[in-house]
A = this chain, B = another copy of it.
Amino acid sequence: MRAVTFQAPGSVAVEERPEPQLSAPDDVIVRVEASGICGSDLHIYHGRVPVEQGFTIGHEFVGTVLAAGTGVERVGVGDRVLGCFHTACATCVACVRGDYHRCRRGRTFGHGSKLGDLQGAQAEQLLVPRANLTLRRVPEGMSADVALFAGDVMGTGYHAVVHAGTRAGDDVAVLGLGPVGLCAVQAARAAGAARVFAIDTVPQRLELARSFGATPVHLTEEEPKRVVREATEGLGVDVVVDAVGDPGPLELAVSLARDAGTVSGIGAYAGRGEVPLGLAWLKGLTIRAGLANVIAHVDRVLALMSAGVLDPSPLVTHHMSLNEAAQAYELYDRREALKIVLAP
């Protein structure tokens, strides 16, 4: 079968690979209908996340169950399914608490041997281990463009908002309107945010955020801190989603947060960072960092997508063929796309 493989920093290829085979009883083989290119794929593309040459990449997918092991209980052959970006064992000390994103045996699709040695989804077929936990049937009538967000980008936006304890009637700010930030805008509205201040520098992204119900604020042409202060009687917002990460607008995030509010750092941090700890302490803030627990959220995210409350389809800017993967990555790398969907 054909698969998109990492070759070297800045280079991917479409190569022929053996079809995956069932080995464990809870394995599933999925014939991929659509896969997405995601911001974290760029980390691989740039060589910042080291992946072996020839490793198949990609971790967002929708497809059909081709084969299922004897222990697979939640889906069956022929089902149209979507998946999460990583697997989890469901029974380790982390999973048993519901912290699936911290599973001690978790494996991430398409991220090389260091993150679990699990071939990726930008391919014609995909092996999904421990499929009972992470695969879901695609709800009737849902497009692949919508469904492939559930277990990755939209699940991450949902996590950023819900994990921060957003309550109906709260005000939220979202810093960074890439796909995750834009999904967080939708999730914030879905979770009852009265107002969402959506902050970025790219006019088209600000406009998308506005169409999702947010108040767009240009990071440099306006003064986000002043805008938020004025709109909130000087209080600031209950929740700030930092969807940028390193080197990160943590400074701005802390300044926008209301006393006793929460900063939800969903964008990846690395290494060490200087943080305005004094201000965070004075305000009594909570800072939550880390990868999203998409497995815990996927059922609720799907329900909201089915109801049309969450609809990431406006984020899909390009549909391309798997064979065009090289061009797709170049285009994505030039930041000309929000989400590219590849069809085999």
Q: Which A positions have Cβ atoms within 8 angstroms of B? A: 24-25, 71, 73-74, 89-99, 101-102, 105, 132-133, 158, 161-162, 167-171, 187, 190-192, 194-195, 235, 245-246, 248, 250, 259-260, 265, 268-278, 280-291, 293, 295-297, 299-304, 306-307, 309
Give 5 CB contacts A-B under 8 Å.
Answer: A73-B92, A90-B90, A97-B296, A161-B168, A286-B287
Report the nearest B residue to A158, measured CB to CB: B168
Q: Which residues of B contact A303 (CB under 8 A)?
A: 169-171, 194-195
Whether A94 touches B260, Cβ cut-off 8 Å, given contacts A270-B278, A272-B276, is yes
Q: Which residues of B contact A98 (CB under 8 A)?
A: 97-98
Distance in Å from the Cβ of A264 to the closest Cβ of chain B?
10
Distance in Å from the Cβ of A138 to the closest Cβ of chain B?
14
Q: Which residues of B contact A299 (CB under 8 A)?
A: 93, 96, 169
Whether A269 and B274, one on each chain, are in contact in the complex, defined by CB atoms closer than 8 angstroms, is no
The docked-state distance in angstroms from the alpha carbon of A291 to that of B280 is: 11
The docked-state distance in angstroms from the alpha carbon of A94 to that of B233 is: 13
Whether A102 touches B194, Cβ cut-off 8 Å, given contacts A168-B162, A280-B269, A281-B289, is no
Whether A168 touches B96, Cβ cut-off 8 Å, given contacts A90-B91, A283-B290, is no
Whether A260 and B97, one on each chain, are in contact in the complex, defined by CB atoms closer than 8 angstroms, is yes
Interface residue from B191, B194, B274, B287 paired with A273 (Cβ < 8 Å): B274
Q: Which residues of B contact A287 (CB under 8 A)?
A: 286-289
Q: Which residues of B contact A278 (CB under 8 A)?
A: 246, 269-273
Report the nearest B residue to A95, measured CB to CB: B90
Whether B102 and A260, one on each chain, are in contact in the complex, defined by CB atoms closer than 8 angstroms, is yes
Q: Which residues of B contact A271 (CB under 8 A)?
A: 277-278
Smallest CB-CB A-B distances: 5 pairs: A169-B300, A284-B290, A194-B303, A91-B132, A269-B277
Whether B169 and A304, one on each chain, are in contact in the complex, defined by CB atoms closer than 8 angstroms, is yes
Additional pairs, 4, CB under 8 Å, beyond known A94-B260, A96-B296: A90-B90, A93-B235, A162-B167, A194-B307
Whether B270 and A281, one on each chain, are in contact in the complex, defined by CB atoms closer than 8 angstroms, is yes
Whether A304 and B91, one on each chain, are in contact in the complex, defined by CB atoms closer than 8 angstroms, is no
Q: Among the interface residues A24, A192, A301, which one has the most CB atoms of the partner chain B within 10 A?
A: A192
Distance in Å from the Cβ of A272 to the closest Cβ of chain B?
5
Interface residue from B99, B161, B275 paired with A284 (Cβ < 8 Å): B99
Whether B300 and A194, one on each chain, are in contact in the complex, defined by CB atoms closer than 8 angstroms, is yes
The docked-state distance in angstroms from the alpha carbon of A278 to that of B280 is: 18
Distance in Å from the Cβ of A306 to the closest Cβ of chain B?
7
Interface residue from B24, B89, B102, B277 paired with A275 (Cβ < 8 Å): B277
The docked-state distance in angstroms from the alpha carbon of A171 to that of B299 is: 11
Q: Which residues of B contact A296 (CB under 8 A)?
A: 96-97
